[in-house]
Structure 1
């Protein structure tokens, strides 16, 4: 809720944010371009990404049955208040759910399960998510931006690949096949995986040949 615009870390057409999570661990996470455009359209003078919330809440009350509540909305954005509101809406939404009420941590758990889909490298997934053993291993290590970006991209692609296409589009995922090849080539070079570098390079070199599709390796 306290995400700020100065935490944005654009890399080409990629939109990452750098945050400090639990245990003081730095983490990058990438959002789809479509979602970034939506957030940018709502940007205000506030340093906070969700700074428009107070204005939206004020307009909601002005149009509602209790318009006098609009005057009670603070002129300053408070991330904690937005967090409380979001928590309450999740509770309201899930109160009659067959499985019982949902809590915010359930959504985090679900996103990590999506990231796990089709991925056998348990330790790599845990490290990318900054959980478990990785907290112990990285608490005192400052990773390079390129490593942080690679982790962010891997989690981004795992989640996108696990979603049905229509759901992915609703979240703003608009992956271009050739962009995936370029990203994976850069990561392969960073890992010094020269066999994969050779295969990806060959695909990129021949992507313009008629009838020859690119292979996403």
Structure 2
């Protein structure tokens, strides 16, 4: 059985990804900062909860030790993410505003990959899925026909550009491990006040596709639910 860990999985895209992967036969770990919410989500889904705060390396390392003791890991889905300040004009944004978002969206991925890499290297089909966004795509934000071109969010958008580049670099550096990026698209979640036009199921299509790739599947790719996405 494929064992999968999803960060930030107590709600939204992470929760729906867990539901669908369990339905597909995966054994799923729900990673979440809040123990009460995480355990509740795991109980509802038939998953296993592990406390995991991606901004804290000690927490991530402890989660990796827990998963290792239970038998190992095949798939890591780096889903945890935050938007940061949304109402501040760009001229008022500070380094501290960026640091808080990057601590989760970017450095959190690095922490998780560092901690879980030994377990993935022992898997017969190791896979990493990084949840990014079309808002971080240079091509999409310059395309007047796409919604991404209408959104001005320096912190969040730049953090997702970093996630996509991290994906490509890890894919080149980690032999034998598939590392790919998924753009959920404009999906109704807490991050956007549930304003997205896609359902959670539609928003997790790309994530689930990448999390269920067979041995020999692609690496270093960036997709949305329609297929390859523009970098």
TM-score by length of 1: 0.26
Report which of the two has the higher share of strand: 2
Please say which structure displays the higher CA radius of gyration. Answer: 1
TM-score by length of 2: 0.25
